Amino acid sequence: SLRLVSRGPSIAENVGRTSDFDFAIGPTWGIQRKFSKNLHLLFDVGPQYYFDTEGNGNIWPIMVQINIGFDL
């Protein structure tokens, strides 16, 4: 799959960032499973390229995401 992540201005005052808006894009490989009626698990991994509106950017070689969820 392809992941596109974005975030806006910070709500915390003690976070130092170069720009109020930044983005990440990259391919991901993973697995998603549903256990029982309401429980699910998501795991994916892949490289990401991060960049912001100020022209800063770099490659993050391995981005890992693990989600455990409960459906209401």
pLDDT (tens digit, 9 = 90+) per residue, 27-68?
999 999 999 889 999 999 999 998 888 888 889 889 899 999
Whether the CB-CB separation of 49 and 56 falls below 8 Å is answered with no
Distance between CA atoms of residues 38 and 50, nearest Å: 34
Whether the CB-CB separation of 20 and 47 falls below 8 Å is answered with no
| Beta-ladder partners of 39 | 35, 70
pLDDT (tens digit, 9 = 90+) per residue, 16-29?
666 778 888 999 99
**pLDDT at position 4:** 79
Domain boundaries of the chain, sorted by first residue: 2-70
